[in-house]
Amino acid sequence: MAEVIFRTKDVTKVYDTGVVKVYALAGVDLELFKGELTVLLGPSGSGKSTLLNILGGLDHATDGQVWFGETELTNMPDRGLTRYRRDHVGFVFQFYNLVPSLTARENVQLVTDVASDPMPAAEALELVGLGKRMDHFPSEMSGGEQQRVAIARAIAKRPQILLCDEPTGALDSTTGVQVLEALQDINERFGTTTVVITHNAEIQRMAHRVVFFQDGKISETRFNDTRLAPSEIEW
C-alpha cells in the first residue's frame, strides 16, 4: 500500500459569527496517499474547500489533528505554515488568481523566486503547453490558458502536493479538458500528490480516489480501479 501523505483526525472547523456557530467541518478523518490523484466531491458548503485550505496550511482547524507525513500541521505557527507552503504545496484556484500586472513567465517566477529547488519558469510553462505564450499578460490569454499558467506556477517549485480548488469551475469543456490533462500529466510524470475539488461529478472518473463530502463530513470514500483519460470524460 502507498505511503500516507496526509492524515486528519476528527478535524472540525467552526465559524463563529457571534450569532450562530457554523460547522464547516464537523469531524473529518481522512488519509491521502502519496502520488495519488484524489477528487473531493460534494455540494457547496459541504466543507471541501475548508479542508483543502487546512491541508494547504492556509487555515487552522478549530479542533482535531492534521499531519503532513510525520509533521503535525495542527498547531504550527504562522511562520512554519509559510515555510510549509513555500516548500511543499502548490495551489491552483478556480479564478486563476494571476497577478494581472505580471506576464505568464513572471507569474511563475513569483514562485520560483522563493522556492528552494524550482524548475525554470519556462520549463513549467512548456509542461502546460504554454511555451509560446510566456510573455503574455493575463489579460491577453483565454481562461484555460490562464488556468494553465496557474498550474505552471503551482508545479514550478516541484511541490509534493498540488491542491486544486475547482480548477475547471470557470472554464468551458474544451479548455477544462486541457487543464485536467495538464494536471494528470503532472501527477503521472512527477508523482505529485494531487487533490482536486470539483462540482463536476464526471471528473471523479479520472481520479485514483474519490472522497464525498456532505455537511462537513466525509460521507463516502471510493477507489477507482479503472481511470479515464480527461479527454474521455463526458463534460
Partner 1 sequence: MQAIDRKLLRDFKRLWIQALAIAMVLACGVAILLTSVGLYTALSDTRTAYYERNRFADVFAHATRAPLHLLAEISRIDGVLSVEARVIGDAILDLPGRSKSAVGRVLSYPENTDPILNVPLLMQGRFPNPLASDEVVVNEPFAQANGFLPGDSFSANLRGQKRVLTIVGTALSPEYVYTIGPGALLPDNTSFGIIWMSERATAAAFDMTGAFNDVSLALAVGTRSEPVIDALDNLLEPYGGLGAYDRSDHASDAFLDAEISQLKSMGAILPPIFFGISAYLVSMVMGRIIMLERSEIGLLKAIGYSNVEVCLHYLMLAGLIALVGILAGWAVGTVLARVTAAQFAQFYEFPFVIFRVSYWVYAVSGLAGLLTTTLGAAQSALKAARLAPAIAMQPPAPPRFKRSVVDRAMAGMHLSQSTTMILRSLFRWPMRSLLTSLGLALAVSSVIASLFFNDALDEIVDLAFNQTNRQDAMLLFADDVPETALEDIRHLPGVLQAEGQQYHAAILHHGHLSKRVAVDASRPGSDLSRVLDANGHPLTVPPGGILLSERLARQLNLTRGDIIEAEFLSGRRETHFLTVTGLVEQHLGLGAYMDLEFINAMFRQTTQLSMVNLTLDANETDALHTVIKGLPRLSGLIEMNENRRSFQDTIELNVVIMNTIYIVIAILITVGVAYNAARIQLSERARELASLRILGFTKGEVSYILVGEVMLIALIAQPFGWLIGAWIANAMTNAFTSDLYVIPLVLKPATFALGSLIVLSVAFASVMIVRRRLDRLDLVAVMKTRE
Residues at the contact surface with partner 1, assessed by CB under 8 A:
53, 56, 58-59, 78-79, 82-83, 85-87, 89-91, 93, 95, 97, 99, 101-102, 106-115, 153-154, 157
Closer to partner 1 by CB, 151 or 210: give it. Answer: 151
211, three cell numbers: 472522497
Answer whether 26's CB lies under 8 Å from 215's CB. yes
Pick the closest to residue 184 from 200, 207, 153, 165 (CA basis).
207
Q: How far is the CB of 193 from partner 1 (least distance, A)?
A: 17
Closer to partner 1 by CB, 101 or 219: give it. Answer: 101
Q: Which residues contact 77 (CB under 8 A, 6 or more apart)?
A: none
Closer to partner 1 by CB, 130 or 210: give it. Answer: 130
Q: How far is the CB of 115 from partner 1 (least distance, A)?
A: 7
Q: How far is the CB of 175 from partner 1 (least distance, A)?
A: 17
Closer to partner 1 by CB, 85 or 209: give it. Answer: 85
20-42 in b/e form (b: 16+ CB < 10 A) is: eeebbbeebebebbebbbbbbbb
Q: How far is the CB of 53 from partner 1 (least distance, A)?
A: 4
Closer to partner 1 by CB, 82 or 173: give it. Answer: 82
Q: How far is the CB of 49 from partner 1 (least distance, A)?
A: 8
Closer to partner 1 by CB, 6 or 208: give it. Answer: 6
136, three cell numbers: 503574455
Closer to partner 1 by CB, 150 or 210: give it. Answer: 150
Q: How far is the CB of 120 from partner 1 (least distance, A)?
A: 13
Answer whether 6's CB lies under 8 Å from 68's CB. yes
Q: How far is the CB of 1 from partner 1 (least distance, A)?
A: 31
| DSSP letter string, 91-137 | EE-TT----TTS-HHHHHHHHHTT-SSPPPHHHHHHHTT-TT-TT--
- Give me the helices (H) in the chain, please: 48-55, 78-88, 104-112, 121-127, 143-155, 173-190
End-to-end distance of the chain based on CA atoms, in angstroms? 32
